[in-house]
Structure 1
């Protein structure tokens, strides 16, 4: 190889994509990583909810489904008390009444047994069981519509409860589904829906018809079943999801149906594409308590998908979602105020202080790309009085340990140069290799340099050529210029080994 290997540094670029090392070539700005930062797309992909179920039947799913059927708070239960709850215990309720902790004692639901829905013979409260035409609890004729439970309501609730206690259809349906027996699963889910109206059954039937599992795929049928979930009784106080940012993927059946309907209409899967309907279903998911849906609505307003481009509601949705703890919303707000989006909307001022604050909040909550962006801003001195490499290194390390290739490459730069940390070629090479294995083009090139020089480990010209070639394939200008220089230094054996690395022999089928 002619000339010496020497590093070329551009601090402004190095903070963006890492160190550029070159052979004795004219200095040039290194190319940014070929892969765009995650989350910069305006195609509404920031929040993905697949709804795929884990292998095996989760007993909690069946238990939760039955709880909704049997709960005294569920509208169709007619206030049947199916199980013990401390908050509904007679002693607890009496205590709450004594201390005026109940808004109105009349709001308390009475209790009855599915074995004697009309009353209790032991207490002479037998009502229509003795032939009375009036419900003793409500004073209403047996079939008179009203807010209170009529005799017919009680009989219906009692019968429903009796069936639910003994029903195995939902459990059997999930077992068949997980076993891949979709025809049997569909039969059992339909049975559960007919007998007790399980929302979970309707949800799974929608998925089965959408994907064509054990039956011809039919988006219209899928939509019919998903609408059954949406149209089920809903109490906005008790049934609304309490979003937990620590478990952001935790959703209920109604939200899952809303998001799936939105995806169907957005992609036009089996029907005509209708972004307006997708926007409508994201709004429903937000109404049901899924705060990340606000991020989707914000993106929709930024992109003009299903609605007009309007930065004001976009910011409002994103800020609300961010306050609720959605890290993607915080990250996007950082992008907006840093003017980092591919199609930056008008009306958002450049505000590096605010951008840094949003990236920092998202990073603190564990958002990987935001952690890297916060580190970059500190490295560049954006939103700070001066560059702060010591603080940047802490965040680079956090992101690097979690597998972020650009962060690994940037951190390797510091160890290679010995800036803000002790120089350590061995650590730098390990970090460059980790990033190179994740297709970071600058790290591929930097690793090639270290392999050719024997820095931080053994010299390996064949591996150096292979990594430099891969970097060139991803558009790295320095790698393209250096590759012929490196190729001239290879022995025939080294060239053959490099070619084998680049074109490995396919494995023979066993």
Structure 2
């Protein structure tokens, strides 16, 4: 045991192979590189407006309401240019200053109680404010918004205000009553053509909930969402790095179609089609789809291997605030990819900058990677263990197993922190419980030697066996020495730890 029974310092280990799921992305982002100078904060500015007090609830502003707007009327949806009154910043300004319902603003407005004008609208105008209130367009459309278009939009809005199909559908879905949920979603679709209803019907048919599983029918419903009329200004998702998993129905449908084709869920596996749907999701404004496309060009899965295009996708996503893109860029320049593409030179300073940018968003793998670079002095004149400890701790307290193992080693040796064997043992225990092989061996050593707590040879043997099974080389060498010290009772307890009895299933389960 003397030669092997010592916890070792954090070793250079292979980079982690995978990225977290895209709906578990980090919270905010900073972009940085060795050539870009000081890091600049990336983020989305949110303006929260308020409705003016005493506003008539039946009065609808077209630029504010998705249901009652030109885009929901047949001939006037795309027949004119952009109006400043349709801009979200303009609307926020109007709301903040209580001007939203003032006759002086430019947005078209009318009441769904009387789209051609009534007493309510007459109080603030003459029925319907013209779409071109800001002045004639230099090239007026061949067809404009006729009275029938306004009646159509008003009627749709009236139905939407009264209909409860979607509320009932989601309530039934959450209660597990999928038959009722499917029927109510179909009602919502029939009445309003609601995208959320079509999306949920696609999911129900894909999973076989409330209806026999059918991938073709699921795809047909999802296509209803992605093929619906699309306004690239109003319908495009505005990516917020502070809420990176937020999607709309159109983005979610495109991502689900990509997943269906990539995994071959009930259909022929088609990585190229998956890539095409990922491109669609990116076009709809979902920035993390660019990270998926970069990975596709790195791996050659559904796309030709192309490091230059991969970098373009990843850099665009990283600049927009996607933490996974920043982390992946760090790995590329750190040469930590399982299949490192040609043409990307090792650049430790740039790798560290990308890791650091992703770490500042809370990305745990990036935090650990940045800590290891500081610990080993990569890209630096000398190692910086004090700075490494700070980052190790930041990742360790959030459950990152490799960071817990590394931080435990610092406490074990008293490097950069006061020596504390009890804390080291607890950290090794936490990392071992997350299947970290080196932590399993280090914990086994401390248990066998009684460091940081009582001696427990049975637990030491069990953890050493688990470390050996996961390929830790020192565990295999230390195992015979621990086994030789076991009493028959300790060996029986070690076997029980390694092979716990299976609990019988509860009746009716």
Shared fold, TM over 0.5: yes
Deviation at residue 147 of structure 1 after TM alignment: 4.0
Among 193, 201, 210, the residue aligned to 1:205? 201
Q: Which stretch shifts more, 361-370 or 261-270?
A: 261-270
Contact 2:69 2:153 in 1 (8 A): no
Assess, with a 3 A threshold, how the Cα gap between structure 1 residues 409 and 251 changes in structure 2: closer, same or farther: same
Aligned equivalents of 1:138, 1:479: Cα separation in 2: 76
Structure 1 length-normalised TM: 0.80
Give the 3-state SS of the residue equivalent to 2:6 in structure 1.
strand
Q: What do residues 409-465 of structure 1 show as CA deviations (whole Å, max 9, x unaligned)?
A: 111111111222222211111111111111111111111111111111111111111
Aligned to 2:176: 180
Aligned to 1:324: 320
Aligned to 1:7: 6
Q: Which stretch shifts more, 370-379 or 474-483?
A: 474-483
Contact 2:10 2:409 in 1 (8 A): no
Aligned equivalents of 2:432, 2:388: Cα separation in 1: 21
1:159 equivalenced with 2:136 (yes/no):
no
Aligned equivalents of 2:310, 2:129: Cα separation in 1: 55
Deviation at residue 301 of structure 1 after TM alignment: 0.8
Assess, with a 3 A threshold, how the Cα gap between structure 1 residues 473 and 4 changes in structure 2: closer, same or farther: closer
Structure 2 length-normalised TM: 0.80
Deviation at residue 4 of structure 1 after TM alignment: 7.8
1:254 equivalenced with 2:254 (yes/no):
no
1:119 equivalenced with 2:112 (yes/no):
no
Deviation at residue 155 of structure 1 after TM alignment: 2.2
State the superposition RMSD in angstroms: 3.0
Deviation at residue 407 of structure 1 after TM alignment: 1.0
Aligned to 2:374: 378
Among 470, 481, 487, the residue aligned to 1:485? 481
Deviation at residue 86 of structure 1 after TM alignment: 6.6
Where do 5+ consecutive residues of structure 2 fail to align?
Answer: 25-61, 78-84, 86-90, 133-140
Give the 3-state SS of the residue equivalent to 1:255 in structure 2.
helix
Among 178, 188, 191, the residue aligned to 1:192? 188
Assess, with a 3 A threshold, how the Cα gap between structure 1 residues 94 and 480 changes in structure 2: closer, same or farther: closer
Assess, with a 3 A threshold, how the Cα gap between structure 1 residues 452 and 244 changes in structure 2: closer, same or farther: same
Aligned to 2:219: 223
Aligned equivalents of 1:260, 1:284: Cα separation in 2: 11
Q: What do residues 141-173 of structure 1 show as CA deviations (whole Å, max 9, x unaligned)?
A: xxxx95432122122222222211110111111
Assess, with a 3 A threshold, how the Cα gap between structure 1 residues 379 and 123 changes in structure 2: closer, same or farther: closer
Assess, with a 3 A threshold, how the Cα gap between structure 1 residues 162 and 453 changes in structure 2: closer, same or farther: same
Aligned equivalents of 1:361, 1:263: Cα separation in 2: 29
Aligned equivalents of 2:415, 2:244: Cα separation in 1: 38
Deviation at residue 138 of structure 1 after TM alignment: 8.7
Aligned to 2:45: none
Task: Map 1:200-349; keep pairs closer than 5 Å.
Answer: 200-349=196-345
Assess, with a 3 A threshold, how the Cα gap between structure 1 residues 3 and 195 changes in structure 2: closer, same or farther: closer
Aligned equivalents of 2:92, 2:327: Cα separation in 1: 42
Deviation at residue 277 of structure 1 after TM alignment: 1.5
Assess, with a 3 A threshold, how the Cα gap between structure 1 residues 422 and 96 changes in structure 2: closer, same or farther: farther
Aligned to 2:22: 48
Q: Select the structure of larger CA radius of gyration.
A: 1
Contact 1:302 1:311 in 2 (8 A): yes
Aligned equivalents of 1:413, 1:395: Cα separation in 2: 14
Give the 3-state SS of the residue equivalent to 2:358 in structure 1.
helix
Deviation at residue 124 of structure 1 after TM alignment: 8.8
Contact 1:86 1:92 in 2 (8 A): no
1:75 equivalenced with 2:72 (yes/no):
yes
Assess, with a 3 A threshold, how the Cα gap between structure 1 residues 462 and 165 changes in structure 2: closer, same or farther: same
Deviation at residue 276 of structure 1 after TM alignment: 1.6
Q: What do residues 45-95 of structure 1 show as CA deviations (whole Å, max 9, x unaligned)?
A: 654349xxxxxxxxxxxxxxx98653436433979x9xxx77567983799
Deviation at residue 344 of structure 1 after TM alignment: 0.3
Deviation at residue 118 of structure 1 after TM alignment: 2.3
Give the 3-state SS of the residue equivalent to 1:15 in structure 2.
coil
Q: How many residues align?
A: 443
Assess, with a 3 A threshold, how the Cα gap between structure 1 residues 464 and 138 changes in structure 2: closer, same or farther: closer
Aligned equivalents of 1:475, 1:175: Cα separation in 2: 49
Q: What do residues 270-293 of structure 1 show as CA deviations (whole Å, max 9, x unaligned)?
A: 222222211111111111111101
Assess, with a 3 A threshold, how the Cα gap between structure 1 residues 76 and 480 changes in structure 2: closer, same or farther: same
Deviation at residue 505 of structure 1 after TM alignment: 2.1
1:394 equivalenced with 2:393 (yes/no):
no
